[in-house]
Structure 1
Amino acid sequence: MNLRTVFTTMVVLIVALVGTVWLGRGNGDLESPQPARPVASPDDDRPKIAEKGPYPKAVVDESLYNFGEMAVGQSLSHKFILKNEGEVPLEVKKGNTTCKCTLSEMKDNSVAPGKSIEIELTWTPKSAQEHFGQTATIFTNDPKNQELKLQIEGTANTLITFSGGMMGTASWSLPTMSSDKPVSYQGSMHTKYLDEFKITAIESDRSGLKASFKPLTPEELKEADAKSGYSIEVTADPTKFPLGGFSEHLTVKTDIPNDLSAEAHDHPEGHDHKHEHPAENRTFVIQVSGNHTGPIRIVPTFGVHWNPQSMVLNLGEFSAQKGKEVVLSMFVEGTEQPLEIVDQEISPDFLKFELKKDDSFQSKTKQRYVLKFAVPPGPPVSFGRTNLAKVKLQTNHPNAKEIEFRVQFISLKP
């Protein structure tokens, strides 16, 4: 037997052996075919689609309605008309919604051929939005319109706008109070959504802060692009304010109900004042800030950080082991008598304060005093923006009876 014949015989034997092993595996190692999963059926609650016609025909002239501009807290509604132009009754069911959706009454959720129903969508924005959109889904048994998407959209603005304010919040700044004469600020509050509203009162916890108001003139309303509003004059009496910066609040009470119901506002320009719960009416807050310099002027020495608007002295960071001391100059006008401290309140009590008259200073209208603030060596401590140290003085000056210094610092471990 030659070499070629031997080689051929061996190849045949190997192939036969492999085939035998493979056949011996049996069907147990083969994956049995899995049964096909049934196609998910639609929700049982949805109207059933007939297997053959005739069919209903769901028609909505417009599926999108734009409210335009509306106010935060105001409820507006729009009624979509759904008509059945088919040959058999149209079955209707409400699906998911992102707003309030109401279907008009119908028998057995069915709309007869040639008849129609109203679908009312209502939305009450909770915050100002440049653009909002809400959707309601309506299921039907129309095979071509099994899901109808109805949409409402628009822009939500703050109901009341203040001059000098943003997003309905008023922040007014009074002129600097440098003498004992009252200072005033003229502002306004108005709306483009209400035909009218009333300010019932303006209140303040600060006795020296008063406010008066009167309706805006037609010319002023036109300039503000408003339908109704008021001019508000805020007046501050310097004799009843401590020296330094201040921030006070005015509470404006109105007859505007907290709940701007859809019935009272079928349109952004509609308003109804027939409400029976004045305690639930809206109030607004005006933040009034200013600076009372009075007859006192503080001049810091080089390297000392002093804010005259807030009367805050910032000592910065320093070693608790060494402590820190700074000196400022205080010039006083409006009295010929030396400035005396009638009473003082210092917090924390380890903070040291000293006031000394500079007898060498020559002026016919002013007096100069040296102010010294010191934090003695001690344990590390921090007095930041939220817990400033304070030096509150009661003086004999007729126009500076109360002076309050605030001190910020952080003493660190060495």
Structure 2
Amino acid sequence: MRFWLGMIVSSCLLFALGGLVAVWDQSADDSLNTAVQLSRPAFYPKDQPQPKAVLVGEPMFDFGTQEVSTTSSHQFLIRNEGEADLILGVGETTSRSIFPDFAQPRIPPGGEEWITVEWAIETSLEYFRESTTLLTNDRQMPSIPLTIKGRIAKLLETKPDHLILEVMMADQINKVDFALYSKEVESFEVLKHEFKTVGLDRYFSAEFIPLQVRDLERLDAQGGYRAIITIQPGMDLGRFDQVLQIETNIANRAPIEYNIRGTFQGKLSLLGGQGAWDPKTGILDLGLIRSSRGINLPMKLVVRDPENTEVKIEEVFTYPKDGLEVTVGERERLGEFYAYPLTIKIPRGTKNMNYLSTNATGRGEIYLRTNHPETPNFLILVEFAVVEQ
């Protein structure tokens, strides 16, 4: 069993306790091993054997450089070189962002205990310096201050911050790139990477090539890579979102997550929508809809493929099922191509629902499945909310 010592002993708590201090004596039983004392343990009488607390190593640890919103830890070793049990307690800390953890508060003569001090970088200041204090029943060393210090900086950066690929052809191989670099670390390695969006990962691959000198100078970077993303054909038409997770060997730096968003176009496309349809984002924005009125929005799925004249819409799926409907009309000529009329419908009397992008439920979806041999599927993201009159 481990004991977590949250080092937040507020003045309100101290006032409420009215100065009450828990006292430990030599006759204490095994409860020492199942409870954490948040005060100074009592000294043994002077005429009895005494403990001797020894901090092995330095009382200050310099972690070097660490990023904001990250946590880390360091272990300090306490040894008992006395003739009686050394008992540990918890003293003051300089902030809420630092706290120690140890397994046993009682260290027998000749024993040792590792003290794990964890800290969280919660400030954007350039330097970090915080301390926590262990209390002991050693009269010669009643307190042991432990200090953590270092510099706060961004260890890993990307340019651009994310990729937005407005229009790509779904039947072609597409390549895009971004810079992954550090202004603090001269040389680092990409240990592994992973595309996190389930179902789309098989279409994506990444290659990391060291940046050239001129690129490093332009970015004011010490080291970095050009990340080349290759997207294979075969994905559904419409919008996609992908996340690339990259792990490096930079200390005190968690894996970075890089967002890639884009829209695929092909020989199937949408027309109409009275301005609600944005082909660059793949989003149909219906806005706020009164339940008493509903909405019927005409659109067309256009087939621009003279080599495949028998393309049909085989199935239509909607989310949510109750509230978002699509009807498909008979095929019609549209110049040298042909199209299928679509009606996007929110029926009158639909219950209140929210599928705006800012809501936790996310967007609605329309999924058209066709028999086109190259790009059979079309995903339409739908933003809307139904409200009462």
- Indicate if the aligned counterparts of 1:127 and 1:156 stay in contact, CA closer than 8 A: no
C-alpha distance in structure 2 between counterparts of 1:230 and 1:316, whole Å: 42
* Cα pair distance change 1:344/1:222, threshold 3 Å: same
| Structure 2 counterpart of 1:188 | 179
Alignment of 1:15-94 (within 5 A): 70-72=65-67
The one-letter amino acid of 1:185's match is: V
- Indicate if the aligned counterparts of 1:339 and 1:396 stay in contact, CA closer than 8 A: yes
- Indicate if the aligned counterparts of 1:129 and 1:155 stay in contact, CA closer than 8 A: no
Q: Alignment length, in residue pairs?
A: 268
Deviates more, 1:217-226 or 1:322-331: 217-226
- Indicate if the aligned counterparts of 2:128 and 2:151 stay in contact, CA closer than 8 A: no
| Structure 1 counterpart of 2:325 | 352
Indicate the structure (1 or 2) with the bigger Cα radius of gyration: 1
Structure 2 residue 158 is the aligned partner of structure 1 residue 162: yes
Which residue among 340, 364, 389 is the counterpart of 2:312? 340
Please identify which structure carries the higher helix content: 1
Alignment of 1:94-113 (within 5 A): none
For residue 314 of structure 1, report the CA deviation from its aligned partner.
Answer: 2.8
How far does the alpha carbon of each residue in 1:258-302 deviate from its partner, in whole angstroms, 9 at most, with x for none? 4x8xxxxxxxxxxxxxxxxxxxxx421111111112223322254
Report SS of the residue matched to 2:380.
strand
C-alpha distance in structure 2 between counterparts of 1:97 and 1:362, whole Å: 75
Which residue among 333, 340, 347 is the counterpart of 1:376? 347
Q: Which runs of 4 or more aligned residues in structure 1 lie more than 4 Å from their structure 2 counterparts after TM superposition?
A: 95-100, 130-136, 152-155
Report SS of the residue matched to 1:344.
strand
C-alpha distance in structure 1 between counterparts of 2:318 and 2:174, whole Å: 30
Structure 2 residue 206 is the aligned partner of structure 1 residue 211: yes
Report SS of the residue matched to 2:334.
coil
* Cα pair distance change 1:155/1:180, threshold 3 Å: same
C-alpha distance in structure 2 between counterparts of 1:189 and 1:286, whole Å: 10
How far does the alpha carbon of each residue in 1:224-254 deviate from its partner, in whole angstroms, 9 at most, with x for none? 2222221110111231x22112210111122
C-alpha distance in structure 1 between counterparts of 2:190 and 2:181, whole Å: 11
Which residue among 316, 320, 327 is the counterpart of 2:287? 316
Percent same amino acid at aligned positions?
20
TM-score (norm 1): 0.55
Unaligned runs of 5+ in 2: 1-61, 73-91, 99-117, 132-147
| Structure 2 counterpart of 1:269 | none
| Structure 1 counterpart of 2:250 | 256
Provide the alpha-carbon RMSD of the alignment. Answer: 3.8
For residue 207 of structure 1, report the CA deviation from its aligned partner.
Answer: 1.0
Report SS of the residue matched to 1:221.
helix
* Cα pair distance change 1:97/1:349, threshold 3 Å: closer
Structure 2 residue 365 is the aligned partner of structure 1 residue 390: yes
* Cα pair distance change 1:157/1:379, threshold 3 Å: same
C-alpha distance in structure 2 between counterparts of 1:97 and 1:185, whole Å: 47
